[in-house]
A and B are shown apart, each in its own frame.
Chain A
C-alpha cells in the first residue's frame, strides 16, 4: 500500500473514532470526505455534520434478532414518541428527505403530544417532553434550542432510508397535525442550538477539530 493510502486509512479510522466517542460532528464544509461518514449539510450550507452509516445488514437492527440489546435508553417510549412528534412538526415537505427539515416549536410539540394522548395537556407533560428533547439533543437525533423553545431534526435522521421515510410518512398521518409554527427568533438563530451538557457538538473548524471539546464548568463548593 502506498504511504498515501496508509495515511488515508489512518485518517478515516481517526474520524470514525471521533464520531463514535463524541457522536456526529459538525465540521467546516471544506473538510475532506471521510469514507462511510455521510455529510449532512446544514440548511444554510455553513457547516456539515459527519454521520456514520453502515452497510445494509449491519447496525442496531441486527441486535434484536440476536437478542443482544444495546445500552438502554432512559424512558425509551416517551423519548421515541417525542421524536415522532418532532418529525411531524419539522418534516414539512414530505415529498423530500426529512433532513434538514423546518424549525418546529415547543408549542407545536406540546399540542401534538396532548392530541396524541387524546386529552387536554397535563402539568407533567412539559417536563416529560423537555426531558425527551434534551435526551434526543444529546444524542443528535434532534437539535433542540431550549432558550428559544425551537427544535429541528438532528443529523442522525439523515440515515433514514426511503423505506424508513415512507413508514414515517404514515406515522405522521396518524398523529394530529401540528398548529402553525410561531417562531420567536429569525431563522439564522437556530444555527446555534443550545449547548447541553455532554459531548459538545460545537462546530470545530477543520484545524481545531482535534481539540478538546469545551467541558462544562466545574463548580466550587
Chain B
C-alpha cells in the first residue's frame, strides 16, 4: 500500500488508512461500476466529509459526482471540462455511433415521453428500440451492427430483455453519468434538432440566450 501516486497522494495523505480505503472504494465504485451505486452501501458516499474527498479526487480528473434518484451516486464529466474539450473539437465517438445512440434515445425515451408513458426525469427507459426502428435510417446494416456493438461495450446502450422480435435495445447505464446540465443539454439539442421552428424550441433558445442562470451545482464539494 505504498506506491506513490502523483495526482492523488496530496489529497489522500492526510487521511487515516481506513478513511483512505473508504474514499478509494467509493471513488472506484462511482467511476468504474456500470450502474450508479447506493449511497447506503459505501461509507465513502454516506459520510459527507469522505464524499467531499471523493468529489475532490474526481475533480482532479475532470469528473464530478452525479446524484441519481436521490439515493445513488455515479460520476460523469464535469460540465466545464466537457465544454472545454468539445469546444476544441474533441469527440472520440464516431458520427455513426452517435447517430445510432440518438436513434435509440428517440425511440426509447423521446417518443414514450410524447406518449406520456414515461415517469421520472432521466434518460432511463424500458421501452425497447427494435432493429427495425433503427433500420429506417441512412446507415448501412454493417455499420449499424458494429456501432451497436461498440455502444454496448461502452454501456451506452444495452440489450433489452425482450428478444421476441430479434434483439432490441434500451439506453445503457452510462446515460446516468450525465450531469443535470448535460441531461438538459441533450434534451434541448434533441428538441432543437427535431423541431427547430416549434414554440418549445423558441422557448429553449430564449432561455439559453439569457446569461446562463447559473446551473445549479449538483453536489457541492
A binding-site residues for B, Cβ under 8 Å: 9-10, 12-14, 16-18, 20-23, 35-36, 53-60, 62-63, 65-66, 68-74, 135, 138-139, 197-200, 210-213, 215-216, 218-221
Contact = CB atoms under 8 A, between A and B. Distances in A.
Contact of A22 (B3, B92, B152): B92
A221 B96 CA distance: 14
Given A36-B61, A62-B29, A71-B153, A57 B24 contact: yes
B82 to A, nearest CB: 7
A16 B7 CA distance: 11
A12 B63 CA distance: 12
Given A21-B77, A23-B92, 10 more contacts: A13-B59, A20-B77, A53-B5, A55-B8, A56-B3, A57-B1, A68-B37, A139-B153, A211-B90, A219-B139
B78 interface: yes
24 contacts: A10-B84, A13-B62, A13-B78, A14-B81, A17-B82, A21-B77, A22-B92, A55-B3, A55-B8, A56-B2, A57-B24, A59-B28, A68-B37, A68-B41, A71-B174, A74-B152, A74-B153, A135-B153, A198-B150, A200-B92, A210-B85, A213-B91, A216-B94, A220-B138
Contact of B41 (A9, A12, A53, A66): A66
Contact of A70 (B5, B32, B93): B32
Interface in B52-71: 59-63
Contacts of B95: 215-216, 218
Interface in B81-117: 81-82, 84-85, 88-96
How would you classify the secondary structure of chain A's contact residues: helix, strand, loop or mixed?
loop
B6 A36 contact: yes
Interface string B149-170: 1101111000000000000000
Contacts of A22: 92
A221 to B, nearest CB: 5
B25 A66 contact: yes
Nearest to A69: B34
A211 B89 contact: yes
B25 A219 contact: no
A197 B150 CA distance: 9
B42 A12 contact: no
Contacts of A74: 149, 152-153
B62 A55 contact: no
